Chains A and B, each alone.
Chain A
């Protein structure tokens, strides 16, 4: 799986320089990986670095292959990356939007292979009937699914998702996570997802990586091992309790910030 070796990256503003990561080592596991951490921990930055949208020091490996040294075209064959932003408006149809996931191999005349990949992916996500619709007319949840389809259609080995549950209601959040599990099983791929909701991560993730607010590695492992009251206090600065539900998964209940007495 994916391995990050002594990743160092600093954000350079107009006047200031701010270290986001200093020699960060992270190892991901098979299945659904969740990256957790407070605001400013650099979770999104980590995904960007893995996909190669940032210039960083250090090395990132996929198995024994160095992703750092790959060209963009090669990289897009190994992985897909879904940034956090919501794109509300576009004059593209759903079919065209998903087709874009097949870049850079797309030809001016869409090949059977590309077309079938798109339709199969839409079918797998149960949104085949949206193919001809205009993207701008879809609901927020449907738009999310279209973007997930766009990342899948490339048939990558790893998918990086930056807070895909953002702006979804509770039911759709659960459905999305359920879907991610199904994708992992059906397509034999691994997913790295940045999540805000600790309980959601605890419920669905096979492997959790925790980064502190200073961009340092804190802990990783199964939900039961890493989601603890101590972690809540040290990483999130929150006093809370962790209990196990009937499926033996940790559930947190946050009480108050350590800054409030």
Chain B
């Protein structure tokens, strides 16, 4: 009897393992690619440093001239920041799409990114007017509060009877215009110097990354990932209809609130330190869904990894397109993301 039970366990387990084999393999490949990209991002820069020097600088903190400083204080945090921000945006998009059951939703399309931009811009201006020294935390709080405001507005709207998927997206578009205009007003009244820095900041840049900023983004990303991952089965149930999810014992209201809160936080920290990077939140979960479906145990990590992948590749490209010039990461991400996105969408259309 015990033996047959054991046998049954084995047969079922094998069947299950065969089903998830491809997903695990894919995750492993992506993880390796990400690691390679981080190294590549440390490698590429204005001064030539060899791979060997990089490894020695990172692990032994030794090297000639400024090598140790360049590698450890500039290039490494930037390369890791690309990964952290990309992962955060990918995760945010994944969960917003899940709770709204809408594959074209993302923090950006819902106006959360622009709201965070406005908040950060306000903090920037206030900072410059009130306190001379830069206060990174104040910008973060500001941007977070506005991201939260936009999220709560979207959420409240989504609770209205008759607010369909399209209604929610339209509402987000309206919020986008609102916060865009508000940001422009700030830009209009700002002096030339502020205006210049705000415009650049809006295009997204990794160049001002410090270890402190990285640690803040990294811890938010890690905490959000853990919370999402622990709720992965509930979130998977949320991809079904609301009543269906509730019939499975999921408190849909609570899950939605959690996702909106954490996504705002994710969006806020990435926007206030890096600037607006819009496309990753849509594209990463979209590609992930094609590969692994919507089982959140795979969908979530793969969205995060693909987000990190897209931003890291963009960062590489941003440094090599024009020698000696680093293009804004937000622009490059869109330039690279759009063709990948279209390729996948059209390939899928062909197979249908």
Contact = CB atoms under 8 A, between A and B. Distances in A.
Interface string B275-293: 0000000000000010001
A9 interface: no
Closest 9 CB pairs of A and B: A91-B294, A76-B249, A91-B293, A81-B247, A106-B233, A83-B243, A112-B9, A115-B12, A119-B12
B293 A103 contact: no
B59 interface: no
Contacts of A72: 249, 251
Given A100-B237, A104-B249, 8 more contacts: A53-B243, A90-B240, A91-B239, A101-B248, A103-B233, A103-B250, A119-B8, A150-B248
15 contacts: A51-B247, A76-B248, A82-B247, A83-B244, A91-B239, A92-B236, A96-B293, A99-B233, A104-B233, A108-B232, A108-B297, A112-B9, A116-B8, A131-B19, A132-B19
Interface in A56-109: 72-73, 75-76, 80-83, 85, 87, 90-93, 95-96, 99-101, 103-104, 106, 108
Given A108-B229, A132-B19, A96 B248 contact: no
Contacts of A100: 233, 236-237, 240, 248
A3 B217 CA distance: 54
B188 interface: no
Contact of A92 (B9, B12, B295): B295
Interface residues of B, number: 32
Interface in B219-257: 229-230, 232-234, 236-237, 239-241, 243-244, 246-251
B65 interface: no
Among A87, A95, A96, the one with the most B-chain Cβ atoms within 10 Å of its Cβ is: A96
B15 interface: yes
Nearest to A160: B247
Nearest to B250: A103
B346 interface: no
Contact of B241 (A53, A73, A85, A132): A85
Contacts of A103: 233-234, 237, 248-250
Nearest to B292: A91
Interface string A18-57: 0000000000000000000000000000000001010000
Interface of B: 8-9, 12-13, 15-16, 18-19, 161, 229-230, 232-234, 236-237, 239-241, 243-244, 246-251, 289, 293-295, 297
Contacts of B240: 87, 90, 100
Contact of B16 (A14, A110, A134): A110
Given A90-B294, A93-B293, A96-B293, A83 B16 contact: no
B236 A131 contact: no
A95 B16 contact: yes
Given A83-B244, A92-B239, A112 B12 contact: yes
Contacts of B249: 72-73, 75-76, 103-104
A150 B297 CA distance: 19
Contact of A85 (B9, B18, B243, B250): B243
Interface of A: 14, 51, 53, 72-73, 75-76, 80-83, 85, 87, 90-93, 95-96, 99-101, 103-104, 106, 108, 110, 112, 115-116, 119, 131-132, 134, 150
A136 to B, nearest CB: 9
Contacts of A106: 233
A19 B243 CA distance: 21
Contact of B244 (A76, A85, A95, A116): A85
B236 A96 contact: yes
A83 B13 contact: no
A229 B46 CA distance: 91
Contacts of B251: 72
A104 B230 CA distance: 12
Contacts of B230: 108
Contacts of A150: 248
A107 to B, nearest CB: 8
